[in-house]
Structure 1
Amino acid sequence: MIRTVAGAALMAAAVISGMSMPARADAAADGLAAAKEKLAKYAAKPVFVPPGEPFDAKACAAGKKMLSIPNSSANPFLKGIIDRMKKAGAEVGLEVTEWENQGQPSQWVQGVEFAIRDKYDIVDLISGIDPATIEPQVKAAKEAGVKVMTSHFYDPSDTQNPFVSSSLTIGFGEVGTVLANWAAVNTEGKANILVIKSDEVPPTKPLMEGLRSELAANCPNCKIVQEVNVGVTEWATKIQPSVQSAVQANPDIDVVIPIYDSMSQFVVPALRLTGKTGTVKVATFNGTPFVLDYIQQGLVDMDLGESLDWIAYATVDGHLRDLCGLGSPAALNVPFYIFDKANAAEAGTPAGYDQGYGDAYLSGFRTLWKLQ
């Protein structure tokens, strides 16, 4: 009897085992197919979609000025956007000025106070400054008649600070899903990932949630080996040694994801010094030109880009609509586009801020602004 029961148990275990292995294999194959299908959307050339009805942007912007405060002026991605906003603003007569800073909240406070004193019409908190961090100043600006707006900061799932006039959101969670699916597809569903992140920057949370959830859904054999959190002001001193230590301690790491591509300038030398260039894949997000150059040089594998020039025009458009009572769009509506070795040259050599995405947005916004 004991033998019979034991034998039955062994047979049952064998049946279960035999069923579970193909089931797991099928799940992995299905997940990989889903990941490939989702990535296809981002391989297509971006299309311009009007964010609202046409309006007389010159009349709206006449005599108006905007102070743009990045989370750090050392970030070339943000610097590039603001430089392009100055150009886009000039087309309609909006004066755009950057409040240069080194990423210190006290400097952001000073920027808002300056805007109040100097009677700016708009304060643009761009990509990384949480209004809650400087809420007393944001409230004071509102009371003084200065509209504080955010751009490229909130995910659509976030709740806007009550003293902010409007927000041009971006799908950071969506970005995380693209990075996850790319890692899965480019390792045949077996990625061992090192993530470099900055938890102090609020968009990191939805991005990481998207990354983790998509890996769980589409890549059961992928894993995040390590997450390295580095504050924005410490990127230059801590990212390189952290990456070196991680890839040496975990030789199975085959993908590094610095979630914001300006981090790549410190990841690339770390991989070079450890002899991992070309064997460890690097995937990132933003589309900063020097990182697109890295792709052409074989130092980075993928950058999920968004045209900095397109972002600039969309930001000016959205903020002017709010300023003039037309209702701001809920999002930037700037499409993402995957750059890799197959198409990185489309961005120019060296890469530019507005190359590779097409130029439909230029005539699109100028038509919306009644300039043509």
Structure 2
Amino acid sequence: MIRGKTGRTWRRRGVASAVAGVALICMATSCSSNTGVSTAGARTGGEVPADVQANVDAFMQKPTSIGITEPLKSKPAGKSVAWIGSGTQNDNTAYGSFAEAAAVLNMKATKLEAGADPQKAARAIEQARSQGFDAVVLSGLVTSSVGPQLAALHDSGVKVVGYSTSLEGHTGPSIDFSFYSLPEARRFGGIAGDWTIADSGAAAKVLIAYPPDIAAAVAQRDGFADRLKDKCPSCEVKDLEFSFSELGGALPSRIVSAVQADPDIDYVFGTFGGVFVGVPEALRQAGLADRVKGVTVGGTPANMIQITDGNMLAASLDQGLDYTGYMVADAVARVFAGQEVPVDVYRGLDMPVQLHTADNIDFDPTTDWSGEPQDFREQFTYLWDK
């Protein structure tokens, strides 16, 4: 069980605040903007709903199974795959694991840099088509801004698999399959909302910091806010929109100003771990370090250290980055084999995840990761070799 506010005990040691990379999630060309304050009356607290607490308890457990049972019919031997990604630290880690898995599947993986620039992404897609790759993986790209290039690629017979491509489902125009759809992002936000309800004793006022031009971030924001509205009548949320250029710069001071302006704010939900770059230090300098807890999705190893040090950030919902590479490689192989890609494999999600807090981070986050089954590689290769 998670202790509420009255039982919070934090360890307070220093931690380097610089998060080396931001977990970029796919940008959309147009997203609805959620501004203002959503309130639900006086925050007197109440009983944590049983289903909320049960959900938190379940996701606190370390995943043990990849949840996929159907063997791969045939390996895509000799196929070439281009990975076109955002180039962030998390993207690079996932690609490294993908290349490892591709070798096991007898595929050749190549990385083409795109970054967050739609023009670079378009050129990378054109390059993949001209060089004759058999498949392309799109990782966190602005797919809506590269429609013509993507259509030409797919029409030429190239298989396309995505991750965080801002689709409302698992398939879309010129995309054979994609993980982390917008409904899944909303579910991630809802799980973070459950943790906040449980930890606060059903009496939280939350500042939600998110970039409104990133579709998955908006979806996480909506999932979080909707969960609090449905399950916590005494909870309130207040939005703080920001741009990526503010990360680690203007954003920490903006969060401090928002907390100072509203003494009732006691939680900050950042839609990805990079939101908390410099925030604990800024709150400490303002004398607010003990007043606010942070919760995020897709934390980095540096975020795990913030959590274990009690350095403002208290919880993170995470999927394994190495697991992501193997999961995407498995999907590419199944698309080639004409098989359906497994979905709904872990508590209604497409991938194993874990809520990390100081109570269950029993690993070295600089070398290990706990958001994935420990033997996930063996579980995948068993299915590939049957």
Instruction: Give ranges in structure 1 of 5+ residues lacking alignment.
Output: 1-23
Deviations 1:16-74 (CA, angstroms, capped at 9, x unpaired): xxxxxxxx99x9645544321221110222131443521266x41x222222223x32x
Residue 269 of structure 1 corresponds to which residue in structure 2? Answer: 281
**Structure index of larger Rg:** 1
Residue 350 of structure 1 corresponds to which residue in structure 2? Answer: 366
1:320 shift after superposition = 1.4
Residue 77 of structure 1 corresponds to which residue in structure 2? Answer: 90
**Amino acid paired to 1:324:** A
Instruction: Give ranges in structure 2 of 5+ residues lacking alignment.
Output: 1-40
Change (3 A) 1:154 1:364: farther
**Amino acid paired to 2:122:** V
**2:245 matched to 1:245?**
no
Q: Secondary structure at the match of 1:99?
A: strand
Change (3 A) 1:180 1:356: closer
Q: Secondary structure at the match of 1:369?
A: helix
1:173 aligns with one of 182, 186, 189 = 186
CA contact (8 A) 1:67 1:122 kept: yes
**2:303 matched to 1:291?**
yes
Residue 71 of structure 2 corresponds to which residue in structure 1? Answer: 54
**Amino acid paired to 2:55:** K
**Amino acid paired to 1:190:** A
**Amino acid paired to 2:223:** G
1:149 aligns with one of 161, 164, 177 = 161
Residue 282 of structure 1 corresponds to which residue in structure 2? Answer: 294
1:65 aligns with one of 80, 96, 102 = 80
What is the CA–CA distance in structure 1 between the aligned matches of 2:204 and 2:67, rounded to whole Å? 38
**Amino acid paired to 1:336:** V
Matches within 5 A, 1:1-372: 29-51=46-68, 53-55=70-72, 59-60=75-76, 62-70=77-85, 72-73=86-87, 75-127=88-140, 129-154=141-166, 157-158=168-169, 160-169=171-180, 171-225=184-238, 227-299=239-311, 300-330=313-343, 333-346=350-363, 348-352=364-368, 354-355=369-370, 357-370=372-385
CA contact (8 A) 2:208 2:270 kept: yes
CA contact (8 A) 1:154 1:160 kept: no
Deviations 1:290-335 (CA, angstroms, capped at 9, x unpaired): 2112212222211111111112111110111112322333467312
Change (3 A) 1:324 1:292: same
- Alignment length (residue pairs): 338
Higher relative contact order (CA 8 A, sep 6+): 2
Percent identity between matched residues is: 23
Q: Secondary structure at the match of 1:186?
A: helix
Change (3 A) 1:164 1:315: same
What is the CA–CA distance in structure 1 between the aligned matches of 2:350 and 2:135, rounded to whole Å? 20
**Amino acid paired to 1:338:** L
**Amino acid paired to 2:324:** I
Point out the more displaced range, 327-336 or 102-111: 327-336
CA contact (8 A) 2:211 2:244 kept: yes
Q: Which has the higher helix share?
A: 1
Q: Secondary structure at the match of 1:112?
A: helix
Change (3 A) 1:307 1:321: same
**What's the TM-score once normalised by structure 2's chain length?**
0.79
CA contact (8 A) 1:28 1:218 kept: no
What is the CA–CA distance in structure 2 between the aligned matches of 1:232 and 1:158, rounded to whole Å? 26
CA contact (8 A) 1:55 1:368 kept: yes
What is the CA–CA distance in structure 2 between the aligned matches of 1:313 and 1:334, rounded to whole Å? 11
**What's the TM-score once normalised by structure 1's chain length?**
0.82
Deviations 1:64-102 (CA, angstroms, capped at 9, x unpaired): 2222223x32x3222221222122222223233333344
Q: Secondary structure at the match of 2:362?
A: helix
CA contact (8 A) 1:103 1:233 kept: no
What is the CA–CA distance in structure 2 between the aligned matches of 1:29 and 1:272, rounded to whole Å? 30
Residue 15 of structure 1 corresponds to which residue in structure 2? Answer: none
